[in-house]
Each structure stands twice: as structure tokens, then as C-alpha cells.
Chains A and B, each alone.
Chain A
């Protein structure tokens, strides 16, 4: 489990409501200048990243800064085992056929 503390800067109070839908997010008390402390707890680095990607794209979330992270449960990882669409494609012998996944990935990235 990976635990992180973050500060979201919100454009307005209404941005608070959607955060209640995230079970991995614990929302703290809204601070002056619409700064919101939150904690996130995820099972893996990948799911943490996916969550953060989603949080930063929520309407009204201006910036997201990280303040604390505990990764004592993360085991050694190898660059060969890293999550990579590239590796998956290589394994599947599809290095020439990137169209679907790349466009999806990059479209998602674009919205951030």
C-alpha cells in the first residue's frame, strides 16, 4: 500500500463535491485560498498514478502538489517488469501496430 499527502488548489468550493466519490481519497479541512489537503491510499504505484491523473483533471482543480509519500511497501522492481505498453506490444509482437493504444494514451494525456 502506498500512502501520499497532497495539496489541491481549487478554483472554487464546488470542486470539493466530486472528491467524495473516490474511496481511496480522504479529504481534509479546506484551508484559506481554497487549498485542500488530501490523503490517497492505493494498492500499487500504477493505481496511485491513475488516481492522481484523474484528480488533476477534475473540474475546478487548479494544481496538485505532493507533500508526503510513504513507499515502504514497494518491493524492488526491475525495468524489465515495469508497466509499459511498449513491453506488452513487444511481447505480443506488435511493435508496428501502435495506433489504438497510443492514440488512447495520448488523448488521455492531452486532457491533463
Chain B
């Protein structure tokens, strides 16, 4: 048999194994399976291919792949049949995660901008330049990281800034995608992250998508739902959105609402439950308390009563909300009846829609509220659950606490006890952790783009694993001005050239995915681990090493914060015999498992908020474990599917049934918040008559820096476009493919039109994906943000749409002088 035939049979065998399984993309007990990939695949690929597990590099679903390596190169990818999350399946992005390593324009050496050109320099020089910048002005230094940081990478950066520099100016790009979800969880349950898990998708009678398009953004999770239909089960899908998407095509009901009125719809459900007396009395009496905003909105608010709640929602009748939202009275009544039916199992899913919202925290609270009010909580298939877009938005940004207000394990810089606990674990002098919350993303970049003489107090930013030159909102205000300011220095660690590296003063080449050890945490509290499998190209090195090397250089210069209270370096790595390994020297970085030692230190934080993590070795064996992972009397480490529920969560006391043990009202109750609908900060006007919504597409991951290098993905969707409604197009004389001029008060863009395409916005709305760096839609978006989570709203601002003048090219001219800003 020739190689071609052997490979074909290999592929067919793998597909047959997965297809013959009774249930696709779900499995309760991976121990019942015998192999991660079909043994025939292993046999036929040959003994020179070594297979190992890793989570997919891309989205927050956290699918596991088996990576085939031959002669130091990734040559094959197979779905991991032992993985609970994906059970052997991967989406089109996951299959090309191996190829994403091998674009020949990988960054392979440090480069410094001199006279407008990037010139190669050594690592030693790069580290010295960064150290000079920080040593000269530690308070003017900030780090901007990512939900793509591995857990150890984020932990090192967090500790270097918060312990080493004594301030909290570090924030992840996760501020832009799920800060509102985090604020919603904390203010509702007293602790972040979903109580439930992906198992809900296998059990729900109805799945409601709140401004969410999982058919494109979380395709494996969506497969898990629609696969149930293929097996003859009935699962109802309700799509509540502002434009028709691929998800709509599978939905039983599509409820199209006017942007921002989702808050009114949530209140309308509550109004109906109370008016028809179909709310859960048991939940109101036993498990919830009520809260309203304080004068200055914050996470705690003020005590409210059930009666106040009832009065607050009373005006949100279906008739009133229909006028406000555009959703029909009958559709709103359908939602009310649904939540009023205790026999139904209802899963609410959301992602960027309710999060990228100037009332994002409020909207998240309202979603939790309708589930709590109706008692649709805590059973399989019955509960609210937010999704994340990045592989470790939960694991690194939220759990490691790389936000400007956070410390590891859900602790907060503003809480004296939490600072004390942190100082104990890090062995710091008491008072070392700064009590002042650091700069959140928008503020950090605003200060970087403001002249020092005008209060621009951030002078150097080190960006790791993200692309703010494309993904920040209102780029003409938050990013571009800094590039004209001589005293602002931008350092960027990345794997490929991006819109940000092109503007960087110093570029550091990073190792990616299986070119280094790693750990991440997905959307359902699942912590995952993998080992390095191949070498990075050229001089590319892991971000964790880069940070360690800088921290050590600062230590060597006697910067006091880089020592613990005993005078030792903040980051000590030990061999089994107790001797120190200088892991900050590249030659010694892999002498020990740096990830394991950092994780074991970090793990000590996880007990405070009942986010218990198991020892590193447990993750080596598993395909991820959902925290809290609690050691049982028999020595087994047990993960938790449903938090706060007796019998599922080890921390719920016997007889309690439901116990919100981090309740902010300290009575084991969750908080239900009172919020009115409020209008968005910017709405269409005669001058700018259209809504602009931005987002993602299936084929490209966020800013496209990796997926635009994979021929198949780039070939499928080679460039961005503006989706237009057909009636608007006719009225404006715009043909499919014609060039359109989009203008907002902040910027403009010439971009081709796609009329009634994959997504179909209603009249008066347009949609533009943000993956294409040549067509930066964030020149137009506004930086107004939620007052609590500080997450900006990328989903709605006002634009003008017209046929581009003859001779216009597809370009993104920056305004000659920055347009007046209307963002908050």
C-alpha cells in the first residue's frame, strides 16, 4: 500500500470511529474510552510520528487536539477522543492550528526601531533597553496582556508588576471582551465565573442565544446542540439578536431587537413572571436578595427589597417593551411563558453582545436575575452561562487576576485582607501591594496617547500576546496619537507582524502554542495543560521567559521591589535537590518545569475563593479539570460541574440544597439587581443615521494575525466587508461588492459591500468584522464603556453610509486632524 492510500485509510478510520459513536462532542466519563486517537491512525501514521495532547490555541471552548510531530515539526492534527469538550471533533480553525505555526514571516529575532526602520538586535540588548525604561520610570510603565497568555505567563507578569514595581498598571485585553461578565458574576454570586458548564448544552430543552452567534464563534459548542437534533432529540433554539446570522438559520425563533434594548427585554421577562405569579417563590424566599445601584455604581450597590424590584420591573410590560425593542408582543410573551414553566430546562448563552455594552455589568446581572427569579438554575441544562472568546480569558485574565483591580485567585487589590494574603504567599514586606486600582485598558491607552505635559502619565507599555493597534476601540484616540509622541515607547512581544508590531519601538519574537509548555482555562472553569513539542523558530522565546529575564535584570540593578522580604529574587526555581536554577537565563529555562513551579505557587491562591486547583500532575493526566477541584477522602481529585448545588459542589453544606457561599450579603443568597433600561451613549442621528455593529467571523480568530496566514482560512474570507441590508443598498445605490464609505464622528473607512450576505442586518444597521488589519473598523468605534466593568461597547455606534466617490480605494485614511471624540 502506498503512502497516499495509507493516509486515506487513516483519515477514513478516524472519521468512522467518531461517526459511529452514539453521541458526538460529549462524553461524561473519558475513562471509559481507551485512546485519545484511533489506534489505527497511530499505527498507520508510523512510529516516527509522536502524538501528544494540547488544547486548541484559539477560542474559549477549549477543544483538545492530538498533535502529531515528526522530525521536530507538527505534521498532523487529530481530534482528541478523550476530551469531554469536543469528543474528537474540531472546527475549521482548530484543524489549522498546526499550520498557524509555520508562516515564513514568523518573527524570529528582537528588533529595535531606528530611524524609522526595525533593525535586528540581540536579546541581551533588548532586555537592557526594557530594563532601562522601567528603572528610569517604574510608575510610567504599564503591561498590556491577554486572555491568550498562558496561566504561568500571566502569573509572572502580574507578580512582576504588582509585587515588583509596586503598582497595578497591568491589564489584559480581556477587559475588551468579558470584563462585564466578570463584574456580573462577582456582583451576583460574590465570585467570578459560571456556576454551570458546557454539560448544559446536552440537557437543555431550550437554548437562548442573547446577542450571540455560536454557530460561527463557538462552532463545536453549537455542534453539540444541533447534534442532539440529529439524534432525534428536541432542542429549541431562540436567537435574540440585532442581525440574522448563521445561528439564526438553526433557530426556532428569531427575536430581532433594537440595539441596547436587551435590558428592557430581560426586565420584561421578570415583569411577566411576577404579573402571572409564575416566578419561583422558593428562590425568592430562600436563595436571593435584592440590590440596586449606589449613587456611584459599584459591585456591591445598596440593599433593595423584593417590593422595590417588583415596582421597578412593573412598567416593562410586553406592550411597552415591544415599542422600545421592536420585538413583537407575542414573542415577548413567549419568553415570559417559557421562563414561567418550571418543567423546562433553559440555558442562556451569551458572549460579546451583552458584554461589549455600555451597561454591560447591568445586562449581565439582569440575565442572571431572570434565571434566579424563575428558579431556572442549578439543574443540568438549566442556567445562565457566558462564553469567552480567548483560550484563557478565564484561566489567566480572571483567575490569575491580571486585571488592574485584581490579585490571583479572585482576590482584590482594594481589599486589605486580600493584599495581606498576597504578601504572605509572595513573601513580601507588609504593605508592598499597592491599594490603588491600576489603570484599566481604555485609561492606560488614553494616557499613553496623551502628551506627558497634558497628563499622559504612561510612557512605556509592554504588550504581550495581543494586537491593540487593531483591536482597541477608537484607534484614532487611544492608539495612533502615541506613535507621534517622542517620549512614548511601545514594546510588543508577538509571533507574527501585526498592526501593533509595525508601530512598535521594540519587537520581541515569541514562541507560540506547542513551542512552549502551557496551561490555560476555558469558559467552563476547565484548567488545561500541555507540554512543549517543537522548538520555536529562530530566536523566538516564551513570554514567561521574556518577563523573567527582565525581572531578573531589574533585580540585578538592585530595584528593591524585585526582592522578597528575605532579599531573594521574586522568582526562585528549584531543582529536586533544592539548588536554584537560573531560569531567567535562556540556557537554563528548561532545566526545570518553570510552568509547574509557577503553577504550584499560584495554586496557593486558589483556596481563598473556593477556586481550588489540583496539583500540576493531575492536569498532565486529564483533558482539563473544572474548578473547584477538591481532594476527596479516597485521594481522588474531584472536579465540579455545578457550583453552589448540593451533591455537585463539595463546598455546599449538607441540607442546604443551594448555597451561594460567597454571597456579598453574607447570607448565602445571590443578588438580584434592579436596573432600568437606559439609552446608549450614541445613537443614529440625521448626520450619522446607521447603527454600526462590529464582530468576528468563523474563519478568523480575532484580529486575524494567525488565521490570515493560513491559506484555507484566508482564502475563505480574504478581506473584511460591510454587511448591508438590501433595502438600504437599493436606496443608497450600492451594489454588491461596491465600495462604501463609512464615517463615524471618529474616523472613516472605504470598504466593499456585502448585501444580505452571511449575516443580514436589518434596515438602518451595518456590520463589519474586525479581523482585517487593512480595513481597521476600530477607527470608527467609540470608547464609551460600562461604568463598572470599564468594558467598551463595540456593538453600537452611529455611522454614515454612502457610495464611495469614484476613484476611491479600499483604504483607511486617518483623519488629517483627529476627529472630535464623543466616547466616554
A residues with a Cβ closer than 8 A to B are 1, 3-7, 9, 26, 28-29, 31-41, 45-46, 48-49, 53, 62-63, 65-72, 74, 76-80, 82-86, 95-96, 98-103, 105-107, 109-110, 112
Contacts and interface: CB of A to CB of B under 8 A. Distances in A.
Interface in B641-678: none
B714 A83 contact: yes
Nearest to B103: A79
A83 B713 CA distance: 10
Interface stretch (B17-25, B155-163, B270-278): B17-25
A1 B4 contact: yes
Interface in B1-57: 4, 7-20, 22, 24, 37, 41, 45
A105 B718 contact: yes
A91 to B, nearest CB: 14
6 contacts: A35-B19, A68-B37, A69-B98, A79-B105, A86-B718, A106-B737
List of 10 A-B pairs having minimum Cβ-Cβ separation, nearest first:
A37-B15, A5-B11, A102-B737, A72-B75, A103-B737, A5-B15, A39-B11, A68-B14, A35-B19, A3-B7
Interface string B784-815: 00000000000000000000000111110000
Residue of A32, A79, A103, A109 with most chain B CB atoms under a 10 A cut-off: A79
Given A82-B714, A84-B714, A103-B736, A28 B12 contact: yes
B11 A3 contact: yes
B88 interface: yes
Contacts of B103: 76-79
B739 A71 contact: no
Contacts, number: 211
Contacts of A85: 718-719
Contacts of A103: 735-737
A30 to B, nearest CB: 9
B516 to A, nearest CB: 20
A63 B88 CA distance: 15
A90 B376 CA distance: 55
Residue of B7, B20, B41, B102 with most chain A CB atoms under a 10 A cut-off: B7
A16 to B, nearest CB: 13
Interface of B: 4, 7-20, 22, 24, 37, 41, 45, 68, 70, 73, 75-79, 88-92, 94-95, 98-99, 102-105, 223, 226-227, 230-232, 496, 708-712, 714-719, 721, 735-739, 752, 754, 756-758, 774, 807-811
Contact of A109 (B17, B20, B226, B758): B758
Given A3-B7, A49-B716, A99 B738 contact: yes
Given A85-B718, A98-B752, A34 B230 contact: yes
A36 B19 contact: yes
A53 B756 CA distance: 19
Residue of A26, A33, A84 with most chain B CB atoms under a 10 A cut-off: A33
Given A96-B808, A98-B737, A67 B20 contact: no
Nearest to B716: A49
A62 to B, nearest CB: 7
A99 B735 contact: yes
Contact of B15 (A68, A76, A99, A101): A68
A46 B710 CA distance: 10
Contact of A7 (B19, B91, B719, B736): B19
Contact of B226 (A4, A28, A63): A63
Given A67-B15, A71-B75, A98-B737, A109 B717 contact: yes
Residue of A36, A63, A66 with most chain B CB atoms under a 10 A cut-off: A66
A44 to B, nearest CB: 8
A84 B410 CA distance: 45
B807 A96 contact: yes
A35 B810 CA distance: 44
A71 B717 CA distance: 21
